[in-house]
Amino acid sequence: MKYIISLSILFLSISIQAQETFEFIMTNLLFESPRDVIEKDNGNFLVTILSQNIDENARPMILEVSPEGELIQNITIPYNDTLSYDPYRLQMFGDTVVVIGQAWNMSQGYPWYCTLRSDNMSLIESRIFWNTNPISRLTDIQKISGDRYAFVGHRSDTTSYFDGRIIIIDHQGTLLNDKTYSVDSVFLPDAILEKSDHSGFILKGGGGEIILLDNNIEVDTVIYAPYGFYDHLHLHNTMKRWDDSTHLISGTYTMLFGDDDKSIGIKKVRHANEVINDYVFGTPDSLEITAINQSLDFLYPDKIYCGGWQREIEGEPFISELPGWLILSQLDEDLNPNWTRYYGGDAYYVMSGVLATRDGGCLIYGNRYDFTGIFEYDIYLLKVGPNGLLTSTEVPETGTSGITVYPNPATHYMVFDTGVVGQYDLLIFDALGKVVLSQQIPNNHPIDIRHLPTGTYTYLLTQKNEIIGQGKWVKE
């Protein structure tokens, strides 16, 4: 058995108005990627981790983190060290934790299912479905009616360049259905959603189309390009049911296929393929891409969370020598934005997913790369409140016109939120009244202030020569 040795664990937690928020960073020598998070009844968070040393097989881990951001447990699920494991989804059934994902050897992957006791994370059962056809690439696992799970992916073999794969098991790990169907290589299966009347499934293709399946997961109808969201470099779309006739879908949005100027989009769509509302967020001339596994979640209709991350240039999305930002938007039931916030700027961040929490806030989970070592990713969790703020040091400074300025104090970046989309002229003065920064900025976008010395500053925000607001903030 192989063991994982953590070199250091850092965490920070401060409560805001009865809302627990924290920043959790776990650093070690492994490549580790958070895959899914659930919130337990006691408020603790369980996080599944794909963990791998270079040139070694990936093994499954689970972290348990308290509402205050303290590490409670860090365990490795017993595994066969000749295989690699991807613990893709987590569910709770009473006092049992269900982990479902994929085990693979070379390019051949198979559904993997295991159960653990929630109190001490001891293993109850682990099972790999070797009797099914392999999945070369797993793209989605969703819980469906009857305590069942649907695995979605694709495979390649000697007779067809790509085949779509759907496998259905129950919550006890019993194989119920297993289908292969031929698809155009451009339209690989991406995400799955069960129809509200349980008569079949809606399958999202990576090329933007949907594939309607009957209850026996046979292909019924293919509708091309209804969304405009594309599979971008192994990053997938997320679908969640809104009500009996509509669902939400989020993904990476581009006006033209292959265009480098991408944004994050979310749409409310009728099951019959009619777009009701949509919202796209990001900044011009930059690349925003959705979270890898779960870019959309909600518990309350007026607090829909959608997230991803921003980078400055096209290329390999998972590692960069340039700073990156996590982006989180909260929307109401008509997809009108309540707010959009940026986090990071001091390292390169990759978002795995978002989890809407019972207190109305959101947990962001992903990776952080601080430009040291090769593929030495930190596990990164960020729990924010319903207003998107983190700690008491980020309680906003309110200027003369109610402008939100955060974080305050700030170290690497600051954000001005006027509540109105637009371009603004910003002046920042030092303690002697000297202008130390002058630039035009878009609303609610991070401003790099790393070059400014520590101290107290005054800002003046104008638009078309009209003063919008002014106030003070502190650079640490």
| Best-predicted range by mean pLDDT (78-92, 102-116, 135-149, 233-247) | 78-92
pLDDT in tens, 86-97: 998 898 888 899
Least confident residue range of 127-131, 323-327, 336-340? 127-131
Please, which residues have CB within 8 angstroms of residue 69's CB and are 6 or more apart in sequence?
11, 12, 13, 20, 22, 23, 24, 381, 383
pLDDT in tens, 197-232: 888 888 877 666 778 888 888 888 877 766 666 555
Reported as a pLDDT band with limits 50, 70 and 90, residue 474 is confident
Q: Answer with the residue of higher pLDDT: 155 or 194.
A: 194
132, 113 contact by CB (below 8 A): no
pLDDT value, residue 187: 61
Reported as a pLDDT band with limits 50, 70 and 90, residue 314 is low
135, 166 contact by CB (below 8 A): no
Please, which residues have CB within 8 angstroms of residue 201's CB and are 6 or more apart in sequence?
144, 150, 166, 192, 193, 194, 195, 212, 213, 217
**Does pLDDT of 416 surpass 60?**
yes
pLDDT value, residue 273: 67
Least confident residue range of 91-105, 308-322, 431-445? 308-322
**Does pLDDT of 186 surpass 60?**
no
Q: Which residues pair with 292 in a beta bridge?
A: none
Q: Measuring CA to CA, how many Å separate 474 from each of 337, 409, 430, 449? A: 28, 5, 10, 11
The number of beta carbons lying within 10 Å of the beta carbon of residue 413 is 20
Task: Kindly state the average pLDDT of the residues 365-392.
Answer: 83
Task: Kindly state the average pLDDT of the residues 172-180.
Answer: 86
Residue 317 CA to residue 338 CA, distance in Å, equals: 28
Q: Answer with the residue of higher pLDDT: 404 or 267.
A: 267
**Does pLDDT of 257 surpass 70?**
no
Percentage of residues of the chain with pLDDT beyond 70 = 82
Task: Kindly state the average pLDDT of the residues 339-359.
Answer: 90
Task: Kindly state the average pLDDT of the residues 270-294.
Answer: 80
Q: Answer with the residue of higher pLDDT: 227 or 58.
A: 58
pLDDT value, residue 329: 93
Q: Which residues pair with 189 in a beta bridge?
A: 205
Reported as a pLDDT band with limits 50, 70 and 90, residue 319 is confident
pLDDT value, residue 1: 26
Least confident residue range of 179-193, 205-219, 237-251? 179-193
240, 248 contact by CB (below 8 A): yes
**Does pLDDT of 256 surpass 70?**
no
List the structure tokens of 25. Answer: 């960073």
Q: Measuring CA to CA, how many Å separate 84 from each of 50, 74, 110, 299, 343? A: 9, 19, 10, 33, 32
Show the domains of the chain with their CATH numbers: 402-475 (2.60.40.3080)
pLDDT value, residue 183: 65
pLDDT value, residue 341: 85
- The DSSP 8-state label assigned to residue 185 in this structure reads T
DSSP 306-374: EEEEEESSSS-TT--SS--EEEEEEE-TT--EEEEEEEE-SSEEEEEEEEE-TTS-EEEEEEEE-S-SS
Reported as a pLDDT band with limits 50, 70 and 90, residue 313 is low
Task: Kindly state the average pLDDT of the residues 275-291.
Answer: 81
3-state secondary structure of 179: strand
Please, which residues have CB within 8 angstroms of residue 168's CB and are 6 or more apart in sequence?
144, 148, 149, 150, 151, 175, 176, 177, 178, 217
**Does pLDDT of 380 surpass 90?**
yes
pLDDT value, residue 64: 95
For the chain, give the mean pLDDT: 80
**Largest distance between two CA atoms of the chain:** 75
**Does pLDDT of 17 surpass 60?**
no
291, 347 contact by CB (below 8 A): no
3-state secondary structure of 76: strand
162, 147 contact by CB (below 8 A): no
Percentage of residues of the chain with pLDDT beyond 90 = 22
Residue 6 CA to residue 4 CA, distance in Å, equals: 6
